[in-house]
Amino acid sequence: MEKFEKLSGVAAPMPLVNIDTDMIIPKVFLKTIKRSGLGVNLFDEMRYDREGNEKPDFVLNKPQYRNAKILVAGDNFGCGSSREHAPWAIADFGIKCVISTSFADIFYNNCFKNGILPLVLPEDAVDTLMKDAEKGANSIIEVDLENQTIVSSDGEIFRFEVDPFKKHCLLNGLDDIGLTMEKEDHIAAYESKASLQFPWT
């Protein structure tokens, strides 16, 4: 996995609440057996008309947000299905950080597996960053994972919380499976204990 240390870029504003994973990546794109190439279909039904033409009003179609690296979104972002295609599409588009007041649980976890930092901030901080994002291309927001800070284009600094283990994995681009396999002895010990205690499992 790609490391996430610092990020500096334009943020796209999506103030809508409850943006669900069906919006992020509609099911027609779940038929792939690969992880790559989904960025072009990110927010597909909001972004294109039925003929595949771009809808000019949609935020990521506006010239100033085409290279957005950050998304500032309304509450409960990523609700709905467990599809990891949602963070795959976001990362493939080039967005590496999503900021909201809350995220759905499974989506939140999926982000960390794909080098995306989902940031939960209080409502007033999200409001400030949303307004900042609305300024467009001249408004560069900076994210520093090591120091857990985010700096608005006006220089206002917000501190964010992140789980230490998830932070460590993201900073170092670590593969969870490799880490868990180092605990093989513990897994084997659990299995032999469980085979006596819960033989029906």
The three-state secondary structure class of 14 is strand
Closest alpha carbon to 71 in 134, 123, 155, 156:
134
Map the footprint of other proteins across residues 100-119, applying CB under 8 A: 102-106, 109-110, 113-114
Q: Say how far apart CA 159 and CA 171 lie, in whole Å.
A: 17
Q: Say how far apart CA 114 and CA 97 lie, in whole Å.
A: 11
Residues 23, 79 contacting (CB under 8 angstroms): no
Q: Say how far apart CA 69 and CA 90 lie, in whole Å.
A: 9
Binding to other proteins by residue 51, rule CB under 8 A? Answer: no
Closest alpha carbon to 96 in 14, 170, 26, 46:
170
Binding to other proteins by residue 3, rule CB under 8 A? Answer: no
Map the footprint of other proteins across residues 133-162, applying CB under 8 A: none
Out of 41, 69, 84, 158, the only residue in the binding site for other proteins (CB under 8 A) is: 84
Size of the site for other proteins (CB under 8 A): 55
Out of 87, 91, 132, 139, the only residue in the binding site for other proteins (CB under 8 A) is: 87
> Residue 138 CB, nearest distance to other proteins (Å)?
26
Residue 75 or 134 having the CB closest to other proteins: 75
Instruction: Fill in the amino acid letter for 127.
Output: D
Binding to other proteins by residue 41, rule CB under 8 A? Answer: no
The three-state secondary structure class of 6 is strand
Q: Give the footprint of other proteins on this chain (CB under 8 A).
A: 15-18, 20, 22-23, 26-28, 30-35, 45, 50, 74-76, 79-84, 87, 102-106, 109-110, 113-114, 163-165, 176-177, 179-181, 183, 186-187, 190-191, 194, 198-201
